[in-house]
């Protein structure tokens, strides 16, 4: 597992067809809004094309080995980790940030600009309804 959010866990995987590394978000279907989130993300995947947004490769909906509903989204894998890790690096035992993940003020400003461009694209250039960003 490489991460966890309110709607599910994210795992690193490999596509057998081409060996591509992917991130697989498996939804927690016991969460009331998870099904709606899945449908919104599937709809979004058809229309979203932006350099600052992670690409959804495919989705999966079916029944697992226990006979329960299973829904997953397969995203391109981002090898440098999460944006959260870069904006809020972990502290070592001495309470110091890891210098290898410390961003300069200019780098942070560039991240903010990239995020603003992505949000602008989603709000004004994508004709879909989003439940979460």
**Domains of the chain, first to last:** 3-124 (3.30.200.20)
Spatial distance between the Cα atoms of 86 and 90, rounded to a whole number of angstroms: 9
Residue-averaged pLDDT of the chain? 83
Average pLDDT of 52-56?
Answer: 88
- How high is the pLDDT of residue 12? 97
Give a three-class secondary structure readout of 17-36: CCCCEEEEEEECCCCCCHHH
Q: Is 85 annotated as a binding residue?
A: no
CB 13 within 8 A of CB 23: yes
Across 43-63, average pLDDT: 83
- How far apart, in whole angstroms, are the C-alpha atoms of residue 58 and residue 24? 10
Tokens of 91: 């502290």
pLDDT in tens, 100-132: 778 899 999 999 999 999 999 988 887 665 544
CA distance 22 to 111: 23
Residue of 21 and 63 predicted with greater confidence: 21
Model confidence band, residue 133 (pLDDT cutoffs 50, 70, 90): very low
pLDDT by residue (tens digit) across 66-95? 888 888 989 999 998 888 888 888 776 666
CB of 76 within 8 A of CB of 58?
no
Q: Which residue has the higher pLDDT, 26 or 31?
A: 26
**Environment class of residue 47 by beta-carbon count within 10 Å: exposed (0-12), middle (13-18) or buried (19+)?**
exposed
Q: State both tokens at 77.
A: 């894998």
Rounded Cα distance between 19 and 44, Å, is: 25
């Amino acid at each position: 597992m490489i991460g966890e959010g309110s709607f599910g866990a994210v795992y690193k995987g490999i596509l057998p067809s081409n060996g591509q590394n992917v991130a697989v978000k498996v939804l927690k279907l016991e969460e009331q809004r998870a099904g709606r989130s899945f449908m919104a993300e599937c709809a979004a995947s058809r229309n979203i094309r932006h350099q600052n947004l992670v690409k959804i490769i495919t989705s999966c909906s079916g029944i697992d080995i226990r006979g329960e509903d299973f829904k997953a989204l397969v995203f391109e894998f981002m090898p440098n980790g999460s944006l959260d890790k870069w904006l809020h690096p972990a502290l070592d035992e001495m309470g110091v940030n890891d210098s290898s993940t410390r961003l300069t003020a200019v780098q942070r400003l560039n991240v903010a600009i990239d995020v603003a461009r992505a949000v602008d694209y989603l709000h004004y250039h994508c004709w879909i309804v989003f439940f979460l960003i």
